[in-house]
Chain A
Amino acid sequence: MAAQSPAAPRLPVNFSTRVDEVSSRARLARFIRVVVVIAVAIIMLIPVTWMTLTAFKSRPDAVAVPPKIFFQPTLEGFVSLLTDRRQLTTEQIAEEQKRTDLTWIDQLALSRGQVITGPSDYPQRLLNSIIVAGVSTVFSVGLGLLSAYSFSRFSIAGAGDLLFFILSTRMLPPVVVTIPLFLMYRALGIYDTHFGLILLYTVFNLSFSVWLLKGFIDEIPREYEEAALVDGYTRLQAFRKIVLPQSLTGIAATTVFCLIFAWNEYAFALMLSADRARTAPPSIPSVLGTGGIESAAIAAGSLGFLIPVVIVTFALRKYLLRGVTFGAIRQ
């Protein structure tokens, strides 16, 4: 009796009946989509790929015309990037070659007629970049989250004007303010300090972070927190338990944007740092230094510079992707 009724469970269907998987036109459309995506991806990845290849080329290979796609990979570029070297005379080279205590790094330098005099600044610069970008991002997102929450939830006198004021800090082109900032920083004694750069990047990113996060928090219905308030939680506890988990998407997106800005910033870093706090962007071109353009070293430096941001973005991708669907599900 029950087996005959149309609602009764039937044998499981182990082939797809979805229109987009059986219709030939749908399959063709999907094929075209995949081809287009792959083509676009290749075009976008060419510069990165070329940079990666160059980082492993020897000096002649790097500047060869026509460009070489197949070559003997070498770590010369990385050695140039990470060491300071001195050019040797022919006699000195012959003398050095007799030594037996040379490491493969020394030999690599020697093959180009150079001797390593010490480590280069690059690791320190990269570390500076990580400190400055990392700390300033934490501060801009943290402070931005608190202000965005306040703007979103409390009735603040002149909230609109305040928000516009916050945005207006972005309206001046950075080049206009670098010289005054340089003078001020010198007078305050924060020129060429981590603190100086962190402060500047935090202030600069804060406007962006407040606006972006306010949009995300506005999307979270107040009832969620109010329910928590009624259920015996304080506002701070409600914020931590309810608002924070639900704004992870916004926090991730804002973090990535703030980090990329602070990480890539060139003009301010060039003007406001010299040595102790100098970040990677202004220092990579300075590898150009000794004896002609070291394309491989520059490529290696850029590659190292690229990796931290890629790691962070990749780590946060789960939240970034969820952001795309979040608005669609809520009713």
Chain B
Amino acid sequence: MSNVTLQQITKRFRQVTALEDVSFSVNHGEFFVLLGPTGAGKTTTLRIIAGLEKQDAGSVLFDGTPVDGLMPADRDIAFVFQQYSLYPTMTVYDNLAFPLRSPLRKMPEAEIKERVTRAADILRISHLLDRKTARLSGGEMQRVSIGRAIVREPRIYLMDEPLSNLDAKLRESLRVELQHIQKTQSSTILFVTHDQIEALTMSDRIGVLREGRIVQVGTPNDIYDRPADTFVAQLVGSPRINLLPARRDNGTVLVQDSPLHLPAPKTTHAQFLVGIRPEDVKPVPDGAFSGTVALTEPLGVETIVHIRAGGQTLLSIVPGLTDLRIGDEVRYSVAPERLHYFDPEGMRITSS
């Protein structure tokens, strides 16, 4: 059952088209991530769902019923903003209690206290409750922002890049906490980010947004293993996918400026872009192709090896540290069953 559905939403700001014909649904109990680079229209999408912005065309449905006429207060959603939106004149406790003290809810103070205490416990900010928010650290502020959402049990949580202002370590721990909260309370979250790692690690499903259009909706596996186009292929995966221009020669595909020759897909295209994930390029002694090591980037658990072959450089990722040195000759193989083919416009070619 879908919780929130967007139907052909279009939104313009004067001459800028922020969203164009956007449709997708978020199901009950789902962690849905909207992934896209800055300016793709992610914030605008959330603001339209919240009722803070009015779309020019299309409809927002909650449980199948249009809510386009409802005020934000009546939509029963919680919004975690990209910029901190804690009230500097109030204590942390009052910030957390603020949504519960809404005249709409008429909640008794005792229950407010109980809920605030519980949320503070979950987010481990109990010791901050009496503090004013102005002097909190970034991580603490972001916890309080999330806390202000989870004191309620709204239809859906809208989270606008809530982790992007934090340092890597904090981001990681909050990421785990959020997932934990979502799974234990089986709440519905629409989470917006430009960070592909966040999208891949946290989501049940991902919607990829590019320049106001939805390019692909699918599970993290779909997105990673069957990217709909080169944009999605390059957006997810780190280091980036190798994308090489190639052409068909009978049953094989010849990569331009490179000794690489690969099995061709069963289509009639003459020109291709071939996508090879770095983990599918494996330096092995009996590899089919050869090249020279142009650069190595040891990351501890793995090492990125830049292999130069002809006019192309392939990125390869190997576990642990490597003995390969810059300038070394190296043989490598490419997993043929894991190749991605795109037409010259960048759309995926399904070879079957």
Contact = CB atoms under 8 A, between A and B. Distances in A.
A230 B88 contact: no
A121 B98 CA distance: 53
Nearest to B78: A230
- Per DSSP, are chain A's interface residues mostly helix, strand or loop, or mixed? helix
Contact of A221 (B75, B85, B104): B85
B231 interface: no
B88 A246 contact: yes
A223 B73 contact: no
Contacts of B224: none
B87 A237 contact: no
B250 interface: no
Interface string A121-164: 00000000000000000000000000000000000000000000
A226 B52 contact: yes
A231 B102 contact: yes
A121 B213 CA distance: 76
A224 B73 contact: no
Give the interface size bracket for A toward B. Answer: 10 to 19
Contacts of A237: 103
Contacts of B146: none
Interface string B70-111: 011101011101010101110000000011001111000000
B81 A227 contact: yes
B176 interface: no
- Per DSSP, are chain B's interface residues mostly helix, strand or loop, or mixed? loop
B73 A229 contact: yes
Given A223-B83, A237-B103, A228 B88 contact: no
B274 interface: no
A242 B83 CA distance: 16
A230 B148 CA distance: 11
A6 interface: no
A228 B103 CA distance: 12
B155 to A, nearest CB: 12
A230 B52 contact: yes
Nearest to A223: B85
Contacts of B78: 230-231
Interface in A228-245: 228-234, 237, 242, 245
Nearest to A238: B73
Contact of A232 (B52, B81, B83, B102): B102
Contacts of B98: 228, 231
Contacts of B99: 231-232
A230 B89 contact: no
Interface in B85-140: 85, 87-89, 98-99, 102-105, 134
Given A221-B83, A227-B79, A232 B89 contact: no
Interface in A79-125: none
B90 to A, nearest CB: 8
A285 to B, nearest CB: 46
B81 A229 contact: no
Given A223-B81, A329-B134, A230 B87 contact: no
Interface string B257-269: 0000000000000
Interface in A205-225: 221, 223-224
Contacts of B206: none
Contacts of A224: 85, 87
A229 B103 contact: no
A226 B98 CA distance: 13
A329 B102 CA distance: 29
A232 B73 contact: yes
From A226, A227, A242, A245, name the one whose CB has the most chain B CB atoms within 10 angstroms: A227
A232 B85 contact: no
Given A228-B98, A246-B88, A246-B89, A233 B103 contact: yes
B244 interface: no
Contact of A226 (B81, B87, B89, B103): B81
B72 A229 contact: yes
A178 B103 CA distance: 50
Interface in B7-37: none
Contacts of A232: 73, 99, 102-105
B50 interface: yes
From B83, B85, B102, name the one whose CB has the most chain A CB atoms within 10 angstroms: B85
A226 B102 contact: no
Interface of A: 221, 223-224, 226-234, 237, 242, 245-246, 329
- Sort A-B residue pairs by CB-CB distance and give the 9 closest, nearest first: A232-B102, A231-B99, A223-B85, A232-B104, A227-B85, A229-B72, A230-B79, A245-B89, A232-B73
Interface of B: 50-52, 71-73, 75, 77-79, 81, 83, 85, 87-89, 98-99, 102-105, 134, 148, 152
12 contacts: A223-B81, A227-B81, A227-B85, A227-B148, A229-B71, A229-B73, A231-B98, A232-B103, A234-B71, A234-B73, A246-B88, A246-B89
